[in-house]
Amino acid sequence: MLSGSDPRSLPPIAKGVFLVASPILFDPNFRETVILICEHGPEGTLGVIVNRPTDLPLSEVLPHLPVLKGTSYVLFAGGPVQPEEILMLFRISETPADLKPVMEGIYLGGNLRLLERVITQPQPTETFRAFAGYAGWAPGQLEYELATGSWAIVPADSMSLFDKDPTDLWPDLLERLQAPGVVRLHENLVSRWQEDR
């Protein structure tokens, strides 16, 4: 649980933050996950799990895109909602009109022409990730889960999202949650998790 679980003391849910699963969140859909919030508003919240790469090569998932042949991109398991739908996160320097901004330089969408350009003519630091499905919450549902200690909020950053080993992201962010001035998970839960590793 989060210390100080009074909802008024929690950081706001917003696009461009990471949700970090509490060590006590045992739902197999979300255990040890980090979710990037991509949309949040009166209709609810949408995010993608960013630390669950699969073994599926993206070239096999999207065989109609010859530009993927021979690349090392893999599909990520983005969440339990509509797992047959492929969503893409792009880190690009331009501002494309047909993609939704998530945070500075990070966009959500499915622009295949942009995907092809990023693979064949990448600018420095440009990349993308593809996700099968997403995580979604009805209005008020995520706020309730935060108040009960299922999640902590950490500001997202591009380096954590694209440049670090995604399988290290959850434990790294748990450590970051122990820093001063951050909404914390109860220390005994973090200690118990560290003993179990």
* pTM metric for this prediction: 0.86
Instruction: Tell whether 1 is covered by a domain.
Output: no
Q: Domain holding 147: CATH number?
A: 3.40.1740.10
Number of domains in the chain: 1
Instruction: Tell whether 2 is covered by a domain.
Output: no
Instruction: State pLDDT tens for residues 71-99.
Output: 999 999 999 999 999 999 999 988 888 89
- Residue 120: the pLDDT is 92
Burial class of residue 152 in the structure, from the number of CB atoms within 10 Å of its CB (0-12 exposed, 13-18 middle, 19+ buried):
buried
Instruction: Tell whether 97 is covered by a domain.
Output: yes
Range of the structural domain that residue 44 is part of: 7-196
Instruction: State pLDDT tens for residues 29-49.
Output: 999 999 999 999 999 999 999
